Amino acid sequence: MADATATVVPGQSLEKQQYITFYLNNEEYAVDALNVQGIIELSNITKVPHLPEFIKGVINLRGTIIPVIDLKLKFGMGCEEYKKHTCIIITDFSGGVMGIIADTVSDVLHMPDESVASTPSLGTKIRTDFIKGMGQVDNRLVIILDIEKILTQDETSLVSDITGGESAGN
């Protein structure tokens, strides 16, 4: 495992957080490991009419219908063809359960809270509330996502409607 170092944010504790890191277009992202229920191979996604473009459809995972989100489309990064190592990270959040498509899952990182810098201000016109912070690991920067804020309130309601409001543990 890599050691993490970054600017200390006042008020943060010395506890270590565990993150699952993954790549989207050669950029490294992370989500809190407590929100990750599993990582599965990209399988057939059933398209559902009238959903936003970034919601690719749904999968059936052990009897649970799970909406699948393409973060590249959600973040306006464009969408390439899926590759050999493309996978779905199954996440649990307040709106239920969703899968997020990643180019590849990288690692499990243990990052002390003090190694995570706060989100830089990019102005009022750019939404950054879904970025929990920026962690520096060796010589690379990892964007830490807040799984609870990736979707807007309306999008969360839509995902919750698709899943029936159930979390992956139910």
Average pLDDT score over residue span 120-129: 61
The answer to whether the CB of 34 falls within 8 A of the CB of 67 is no
Average pLDDT score over residue span 42-71: 92
Task: Examine the pLDDT at 160 and tell me if it is beyond 60.
Answer: yes
Looking at CATH, the fold of the domain delimited by 16-163 is given as OB fold (Dihydrolipoamide Acetyltransferase, E2P) (2.40.50)
Task: Examine the pLDDT at 28 and tell me if it is beyond 70.
Answer: yes
pLDDT of res. 121:
63
This model's pTM is above 0.75:
yes
Summarize pLDDT for 130-156 with one digit per residue, the tens.
Answer: 888 888 778 888 999 999 999 989 999
Q: Where are the domains of the chain?
A: 16-163
